[in-house]
Amino acid sequence: MTASAPLSPGRRPTHLVLNQVPPLVGFDVADDAALLTALHREGGGWAEPELHDLGLLAGSARIQEHARLANINKPVLRTHDAHGYRVDEVDFHPSWHELMGVAVGHGLHAAPWSDPRVGAHVARAAKFIVWTQAEAGHGCPISMTYSSVPALRQAPDLAAAYEPLLAAPVHDPGLRVPTAKAGLLAGMAMTEKQGGSDVRANTTRATPAGDGSFLLTGHKWFCSAPMCDLFLVLAQAPEGLSCFLLPRVLPDGSRNAMFIQRLKDKLGNTSNASSEVEYDEAVAWPVGELGRGVPTIINMVSATRLDCVLGSSAAIRQATVIAANYASQRTSFGAQLIDHPAMTSVVADLTLESEAATTIALRLAGAADRAARGDEAEAALLRVALPAAKYWICKRTPMITGEALECLGGNGYVEDYSPLPRLLRDSPLNSIWEGSGNVTALDVLRALARTPDGAEAVLGEIDLAASDPRVAAAAASLRGLLKEAASDRQTGERTARLLAGQLAVTLQGALLARHAPAAVADAFCASRLGPGTAGPGAPLGSLPEGLDLAGILVRSAVTSR
Ligand SMILES: Cc1cc2nc3c(=O)[nH]c(=O)nc-3n(C[C@H](O)[C@H](O)[C@H](O)COP(=O)(O)OP(=O)(O)OC[C@H]3O[C@@H](n4cnc5c(N)ncnc54)[C@H](O)[C@@H]3O)c2cc1C
């Protein structure tokens, strides 16, 4: 509890400040046992020292102030200069650039591509989880840059020219010839007015220019981080929907014909600029085979989906830690909030969600790391489990951040008290990005149909924990759902969300049963798996009797330095 400031002489004590919890700053965000053990287990343990450097930075008052400033000072579009020439610039607050500098400097945008040692994607994933807890909005261009590389590699000449600069640890903002810059950022433009999920409906045209390049004419309804240097764009070529690389500045130094129409006025994600753009014969080069735009860009989408899981896991952890910290310092009715049984149950339940989200997120990062090295079984597991985890974790994040916010009572609802209002506003976005809920759940079905070993890869992983009867029962029920979904398409589509959710929760339970402390694993399985439990859909704080809640709460308790 903080004491009130001393009264000035003669003043009555009308404004004593009592029972307010100091801001949660000056701690190591990477001081997260679930994250650190998963980092080591999945092969990225060598990155732990850097993770703590980043964690101390993310937890510092200085960086949290940059996060606040980057969000209250929204990016501003300057379409023209004073003389009427088009400039198409977006001006960001200096705090945005500060955050970007740290993210790029620590390789969150591309380190595994320049230093592909074992565990590189795992290390990057853990760093992304830690640094997202500083501020989430700038993760958008960071994530798109990371994800652009596997797609770009399908055009080896373009990759040779740009990959080293995309992977360079230098944030070099400003519009210049890409090859003359010290570091590059990449974006992705697929969504048009008439539809984002069904990109085959894209109307942007790509006409061959005769020299290997194409001229793109049309629009994109959503194009985030329009200040990126390069964009992967979908457009209709004579051969069909194709993927192109479109630079904002052409090799001769002239501006490409990509015009930013306006910035979106969004619910959250306010530090990040999301725009509408038009192309008027913009020059672009094909990436991958013409007519195979979707399979080409899907490499990028898969990586950004993993980042949606990582980003939402970060939001869940951050919200949980803020709630736990508050509840352990605030008193009501003569006791610490955390000691009131109903609140103990809520914070413990939030902690379980955080442990489960982090554990599956790092497991998938490990699968991505091993798949990148040619491990087919891990690639199969990733194809099925990633959309399921993306569906489930991103969809739960608004509920979890909302519940964490409520742990602070009215203070939770107040903008300058904690970052929770920002977290809540940001929280639905990862579920919309890269396939909104239904589309992602349907992708689980698609992945199962196209990946013969996919179901077995996931079930095999779950069966490793089958000595726990609750995991075994959930696995049996999942097998039934998989069979039912495969029986006919209508049933499959109708039950897609159920299947995706159950697959994700069962995998979470199995992973916790093998790797988490007994208190965490036991409570997760007892409350979320199998008949007779309240189930994963129950409101948070409905944990059954007889669990070791103290053993759970230590996992979300942080210490200020
Ligand atoms: C802040 C923000 C930034 C963005 N940045 C970018 C960007 O940089 N680049 C980019 O390309 N896109 C971007 N997007 C677009 C985003 O990826 C799309 O909004 C998303 O893919 C959904 O497309 P849509 O909005 O056209 O919705 P629709 O495709 O119209 O879908 C509407 C709803 O219908 C559901 N639905 C669709 N098809 C089916 C089906 N067959 N069965 C059942 N349900 C279905 C969807 O799940 C969704 O809930 C951004 C969006 C936001 C909000």
- Tens of pLDDT, residues 130-155: 999 999 999 999 999 999 999 999 99
Check: pTM over 0.85? Answer yes or no: yes
Report pLDDT digits (tens) over 275-307: 999 999 999 999 999 999 999 998 888 899 999
Q: Which atom of ligand 1 is nearest to the CA of 432?
A: 20
Q: Which of 228, 436, 446, 494 to mutate to test the pocket of ligand 1 (most atoms within 8 A of CB)?
A: 436
CB of 140 within 6 A of ligand 1: the answer is no
Please give the C-alpha separations between residue 307 and each of 109, 136, 166, 361, 380, in angstroms, as whole numbers: 11, 11, 17, 9, 18
The response to whether residue 189 sits with its C-beta less than 6 Å from ligand 1 reads yes
Mean pLDDT of 310-320: 98
Per-residue confidence at 2, pLDDT binned at 50, 70, 90? very low
Distance CA 281, CA 250 (A): 13
Query: Is 222's C-beta closer than 6 angstroms to any atom of ligand 1?
Result: yes
Q: What are phi and psi for residue 497, nearest 5 degrees?
A: -65, -40
Task: Determine if residue 186 is left, alpha or beta; phi over 0 gives left, psi from -120 to 50 gives alpha, anything else beta.
Answer: beta
Residue to probe by mutation, ligand 1, list 199, 301, 433, most atoms within 8 Å of CB: 433
Q: Is 148 in the pocket of ligand 1 (CB under 6 A)?
A: no
pLDDT-derived band at 534 (thresholds 50, 70, 90) equals low
What confidence category does residue 25 fall into, taking pLDDT thresholds of 50, 70 and 90? very high
The tens digit of pLDDT for each residue in 149-182 reads 999 999 999 999 999 999 999 999 999 999 999 9
pLDDT for residue 6 = 61
Alpha-carbon distance 462 to 510, whole Å? 5
Residue 205: CB atoms within 10 Å: 16
Is 90 exceeded by the pLDDT of residue 15?
no
Mean pLDDT over each residue of the chain, to the nearest integer: 95
pLDDT attached to residue 7: 60
Q: Is 224 in the pocket of ligand 1 (CB under 6 A)?
A: yes
pLDDT at 1 over 50: no
pLDDT at 378 over 90: yes
Q: What is the CA radius of gyration of the chain?
A: 24
State in Å, rounded, how far the first CA of the chain is from the last one: 17
Condensed to tens digits (0 to 9), the pLDDT of residues 407-437 reads 999 999 999 999 999 999 999 999 999 999 9
The amino acid at residue 331 is: T
Q: Which two tokens stand for residue 102?
A: 């740290």
Ligand 1 atom with the smallest distance to the CA of 436 is 47
Q: Model confidence over 472-522: pLDDT tens digits?
A: 999 999 999 999 888 888 888 999 999 999 999 999 999 999 999 999 999
